[in-house]
Chains A and B, each alone.
Chain A
Amino acid sequence: DGGITQSPKYLFRKEGQNVTLSCEQNLNHDAMYWYRQDPGQGLRLIYYSQIVNDFQKGDIAEGYSVSREKKESFPLTVTSAQKNPTAFYLCASSYRDRRYEQYFGPGTRLTVT
């Protein structure tokens, strides 16, 4: 079955620690995205990548970092510099020529205390 997987579903960290969220897709999609969702709000774009070894900052990139070494994988690191890291993180992917039709993974809920 093709799809997008994010792991783990729930993640707990202490303040001051970096944490990496996994996102893998086997849809052969070119582009991948990371969004953040806070309660009662829409999705906000953190980073996106249209091809391997290239990525761009979204609207709220501060305190986050990404890498795109493989087409299938786009991990997100939440660093200690992110002031308010507790949120629901969603990964998405799309074909490059239909990049507005983004398909989402099941999400990772990160809680930092």
Chain B
Amino acid sequence: GQQLNQSPQSMFIQEGEDVSMNCTSSSIFNTWLWYKQDPGEGPVLLIALYKAGELTSNGRLTAQFGITRKDSFLNISASIPSDVGIYFCAGQLSGNTGKLIFGQGTTLQVKP
């Protein structure tokens, strides 16, 4: 089936550092979303992107919809301990009826 390649798989950073992660695919997507999941909980929607080239911020988080429509990036600035969790990208394929495809997740750990 269709796949999203999310990287890095995991990150261990110092509090205050900036973080970047991305998702890529060989397919074209109409929508990109970024979610955060705390252990044992459901994912929480962080940012939704609908247009190629779109850059959207939510507090210290910034996400971009790649111009080729095959990738997306999430940046977290000045990380804090509560940023710890798993970050998932999700995309909706061009022509698809509403199903989302999820990346494998990036596990972020922040050292105080």
Contact = CB atoms under 8 A, between A and B. Distances in A.
B102 A42 contact: yes
Contacts of B44: 104
B74 to A, nearest CB: 15
Contacts of A28: none
Contacts of A31: 98
B48 A43 contact: no
Interface residues of B, number: 23
Contacts, number: 56
A34 to B, nearest CB: 12
Contacts of B45: 101-103
User: How many A residues are at the interface, by size bracket?
Assistant: 20 to 34
A48 B43 CA distance: 17
Given A42-B105, A58-B99, A101-B48, 19 more contacts: A4-B42, A40-B104, A40-B105, A42-B4, A42-B102, A42-B103, A48-B98, A48-B99, A59-B1, A92-B42, A100-B100, A102-B33, A102-B100, A103-B45, A104-B35, A105-B42, A107-B40, A107-B41, A107-B42
